[in-house]
Structure 1
């Protein structure tokens, strides 16, 4: 159990949550593991099979403490809250800003580009001595170009459309050198460009699968804090598209999904034989390969990093929920701006 932003995150299967006086108490196999005063809580997020006593549910409903239930992998299941809720006010603020959210979009774009650039720089730091001079030069040039785009995004008086253009320009730079980040001996796993719906090669199939997992987590994060996952700021509204979830995942794609894809391929945990081509040209992971990716994804989500805004360590798996909660606080006016999550 971990407390961040006045929210308790319960991730250990079989944990029992109960009320003890004015405290929330967490027990595992009958042993008390944590105790938090109720007056310090705004919400509880329970991942997986967590037992919650009726007395705790009742006092949380009475005190305006929301309990959110998610499955083991973080997919939203339900939210328990009392008769008085601020969600309608939060969503009204979200809808008002949806058509004029330049500063939120600027933060998201800054986070995305900075994290893509960090992936390139990490590869240079770790493997430059093993690269050809041409590959090293290409990566350095891309990193320099992305640094220039970052400065423009940060300081220019840009519209949302111009910020979207800068985000696309940085993405072109990033994916133009993505092949230099791949160290697998399998020629089938080389990178020739982004393809989706359907993915037409193994690396695109792997990235698309990981992006789907990340989208599910970001959508659950939006639901968990009361935001409407369909109404975004960077991504335009489209029927059936979780635009806000896609906004949240932009700054997390490179460090969570791309880095994991590269690790699986470069460490040879996935090889060319782990992919199959369908009749229509689409390339998919085999069933066994999907299990390998899912296991690695869950392990990746357990790794901890210092959150740059909270200045506390948090597992990767909680980052979408923390960012959604920070965004909700900004929309409510509790903080002046939405701070992106920077990976280093």
Structure 2
């Protein structure tokens, strides 16, 4: 099993990263602010105006450490990586399966079913842990949504048509985000959720979700590259230039666990308030710099938590799930597993 390596997040504007022997050094205004051994890093994510020396960039490529550059608010800009790892035969199988409508429906359906089931788990946990404190109409709405998600998950797992799978995923998203505001227990009016909005996010919860999804996307892409799969060619998401379709596929079943739950915890525990967000021209709502650091810390803490993987029946850290699922997908594509087993959170 892959060692659980860390990700270095650099969020300070004007920071400069350089190589010193086998170490990564972070400098701000010429002063060293941090130093980490490269062998402990699995990836580097730079937000906003952050620079990196060519020597460190080349070293990361040689060591298989992916470097991602995002805007200060989490939108993907570029990624630097070294020689592709993995077996060319595995990628040929991936491309053939992606071109096969029936095979794509089976794999995409499993991934969509995992996402829908895990969204249902988020709602069921809310009902179990906080249902007594919710108004009856909210309890009824959450219960109806979790039932709809359960039905959609079962149908997606059995669907033999990819358009049908996508339709079920869309129905599930409407049910889930239709009640997402009921999951936010904070009375802060600046944290109200007004429906899913992405480009740009139009309220604080959407800004938080989009930021977390960007980080999760980096982790999923890195996991696929380590296994040797092509992150660009997916099954559930259609091919589009510049879009990492398979990384988005893998993200789907992990969003509820690694992003949505982190976002809800930050909001409900008062770690973030309306003052941690700022509104820009055009209505975009974005995280402030200090708030981004709070979110990244919570995300990393979440990745260190333990759970039992439902397929392997072994205890693993949450941060390893993307790598485990990537390996299970590779095993399915090679023919070692009859079906791809999605991650189902319990």
Q: TM-score normalised by the shorter chain: which range applies?
A: 0.7 to 0.9
Shift of 1:151: 2.7
Q: CA RMSD in A?
A: 2.2
Which residue does 1:193 correspond to in 2? Answer: 195
The 1:144–1:238 alpha-carbon spacing in structure 2 relative to 1, beyond 3 Å, is same
Shift of 1:158: 3.1
Which residue does 1:305 correspond to in 2? Answer: 307
Structure 2 alignment gaps of length 5 or more: 8-35, 41-61, 69-78
Which residue does 1:262 correspond to in 2? Answer: 264
Which residue does 2:64 correspond to in 1? Answer: 69
CA distance in 2, matches of 1:237, 1:108: 17
The 1:223–1:76 alpha-carbon spacing in structure 2 relative to 1, beyond 3 Å, is farther
Shift of 1:234: 0.1
The alignment partner of 1:207 has SS state of helix
| Count of residue pairs brought into register by the alignment | 284
Partners of 2:113 and 2:157 within 8 A in 1: yes
Partners of 1:189 and 1:202 within 8 A in 2: yes
The 1:168–1:320 alpha-carbon spacing in structure 2 relative to 1, beyond 3 Å, is same
- Structure 1 residue aligned with 2:39, among 50, 63, 67? 50
Residue 127 (1) aligns with residue 130 (2): yes
Bigger Rg, structure 1 or 2: 1
Which residues of 2 match residues 264-303 of structure 1 at below 5 A? Answer: 264-303=266-305
Partners of 1:211 and 1:253 within 8 A in 2: yes
Residues 230-252 of structure 1: CA distance to partner in whole angstroms, max 9, x if unpaired?
Answer: 00000000000000000000000
Shift of 1:316: 1.1
Shift of 1:69: 3.2
CA distance in 1, matches of 2:84, 2:153: 41
Partners of 2:91 and 2:230 within 8 A in 1: yes
Q: Which runs of 4+ in 1 moved over 6 A?
A: none
Residue 104 (1) aligns with residue 107 (2): yes
CA distance in 1, matches of 2:122, 2:4: 30
CA distance in 1, matches of 2:156, 2:84: 40
The alignment partner of 2:3 has SS state of strand
CA distance in 2, matches of 1:270, 1:318: 27
Partners of 1:303 and 1:316 within 8 A in 2: yes
The alignment partner of 2:208 has SS state of helix
Partners of 2:220 and 2:251 within 8 A in 1: yes
Partners of 1:235 and 1:244 within 8 A in 2: yes
Residues 88-107 of structure 1: CA distance to partner in whole angstroms, max 9, x if unpaired?
Answer: 10111010011221110111
Partners of 1:76 and 1:224 within 8 A in 2: no
Which residue does 1:251 correspond to in 2? Answer: 253
CA distance in 2, matches of 1:88, 1:70: 20
CA distance in 2, matches of 1:252, 1:11: 18
Residues 181-220 of structure 1: CA distance to partner in whole angstroms, max 9, x if unpaired?
Answer: 0011111211110111111111100000000000010011
CA distance in 1, matches of 2:80, 2:218: 9
Shift of 1:77: 4.8
CA distance in 2, matches of 1:273, 1:233: 40
Shift of 1:255: 1.1
Partners of 2:223 and 2:326 within 8 A in 1: yes
Which residue does 2:165 correspond to in 1? Answer: 163
Residues 93-133 of structure 1: CA distance to partner in whole angstroms, max 9, x if unpaired?
Answer: 01001122111011101100000000000000000010000
Which residue does 1:90 correspond to in 2? Answer: 90
CA distance in 2, matches of 1:92, 1:321: 20
The 1:71–1:163 alpha-carbon spacing in structure 2 relative to 1, beyond 3 Å, is closer
CA distance in 2, matches of 1:316, 1:76: 25
Which residue does 1:22 correspond to in 2? Answer: none
CA distance in 2, matches of 1:318, 1:218: 10
CA distance in 2, matches of 1:210, 1:277: 18
CA distance in 1, matches of 2:284, 2:92: 41
CA distance in 1, matches of 2:227, 2:63: 8
TM-score w.r.t. length of structure 2: 0.78
Shift of 1:78: 4.3
Shift of 1:166: 0.5
